[in-house]
């Protein structure tokens, strides 16, 4: 069985917040006549719930309207998504983990079409071994199903894997799947407090720190000691 590192995508590996919000604003104004999200609570929904669930709810469950909303969002994101980038140190982290024999998986509620485009825009081609997207599973984070599907794709056991993400739903999914560690990242949507409250084993301040945490969890490496200033 392989050692594996599983990552949420948006807000964890990919800096895509502005691109996603731009696409939501344009498509919601076109389809429902108002800007969504328009509050902190609605922002949280966008970054923690599958888009298809939100498109359907905002279209009152009408299949035709939902499909039109999805198409409008896809068109808007095809433009705004060109600006996404990997967070600082992410490419180097993935290279280092793979060099240590750790397989890389992505667990996202994003459509595969958009994930594939993001990978190219962010320069992460060839660094991801498996990805579970919204269309691949019936249940989504915080349910453990997508995490378990990624582990199966990588031939890895939960005890030999770490799950990293920027929201409490990522932490909940990793813990429910029984991964060796569910790790938070401080640079994404939620920040350290909510991640710690959700049960994160640790919260990384940067990609280098996250690399050390993952290696300690799945390869039993001792984390590098950092002297106090």
* 104 vs 226, more confident: 104
For residue 147, pLDDT beyond 90? yes
Q: In sequence order, what are the residues at sequence separation of 6 or more whose Cβ sits closer than 8 angstroms to the Cβ of residue 116? A: none
Q: In sequence order, what are the residues at sequence separation of 6 or more whose Cβ sits closer than 8 angstroms to the Cβ of residue 148? A: 158, 177
Q: Out of 3.10.150.10, 3.40.190.170, 3.40.50.1000, 3.60.21.10, which CATH number does the structure's domain 2-15+84-218 have?
A: 3.40.50.1000
Ranking 2-6, 10-14, 48-52, 129-133 by mean pLDDT, the lowest is 48-52
State whether residue 167 is helix, strand or coil. Answer: coil
Residue identified by tokens 């298809």 is: 52
DSSP 8-class letter at 161: E
Query: Is there a catalytic annotation at residue 125?
Result: no
For residue 225, pLDDT beyond 60? no
pLDDT, tens digit, 9 for 90 and up, residues 30-87: 999 999 999 999 998 998 888 888 999 999 999 999 999 999 999 999 999 999 999 9
Q: Where are the domains of the chain?
A: 2-15+84-218, 17-82
> Are the beta carbons of 133 and 117 closer than 8 angstroms?
no
**CA-closest candidate to residue 156, choices 130, 127, 128, 176:** 130
């Amino acid at each position: 069985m392989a050692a594996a590192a599983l990552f949420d995508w948006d807000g964890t590996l990919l800096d895509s917040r502005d691109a996603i919000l731009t696409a939501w604003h344009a498509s919601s104004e076109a389809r429902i006549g108002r800007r969504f999200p328009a509050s902190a609570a609605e922002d949280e929904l966008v970054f923690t719930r599958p888009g298809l669930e939100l498109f359907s709810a905002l279209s009152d469950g009408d299949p035709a309207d939902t499909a039109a909303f999805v198409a409008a969002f896809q068109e808007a994101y095809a433009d705004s998504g060109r600006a996404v980038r990997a967070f600082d140190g992410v490419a180097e982290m993935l290279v280092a983990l793979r060099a240590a024999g750790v397989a890389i998986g992505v667990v996202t509620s994003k459509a595969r079409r958009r994930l594939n485009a993001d990978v190219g825009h962010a320069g992460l081609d060839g660094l991801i071994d498996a990805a579970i997207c919204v269309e691949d599973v019936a249940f989504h984070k915080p349910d453990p199903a997508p995490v378990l599907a990624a582990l199966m794709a990588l031939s890895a056991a939960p005890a030999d894997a770490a799950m990293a993400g920027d929201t409490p739903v990522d932490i909940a999914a990793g813990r429910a799947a029984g991964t060796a560690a569910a790790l938070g990242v401080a640079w994404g949507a939620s920040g350290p407090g909510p991640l710690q409250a959700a049960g994160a084993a640790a919260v990384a301040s940067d990609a280098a720190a996250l690399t050390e945490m993952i290696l300690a969890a799945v390869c039993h490496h001792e984390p590098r000691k950092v002297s106090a200033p």
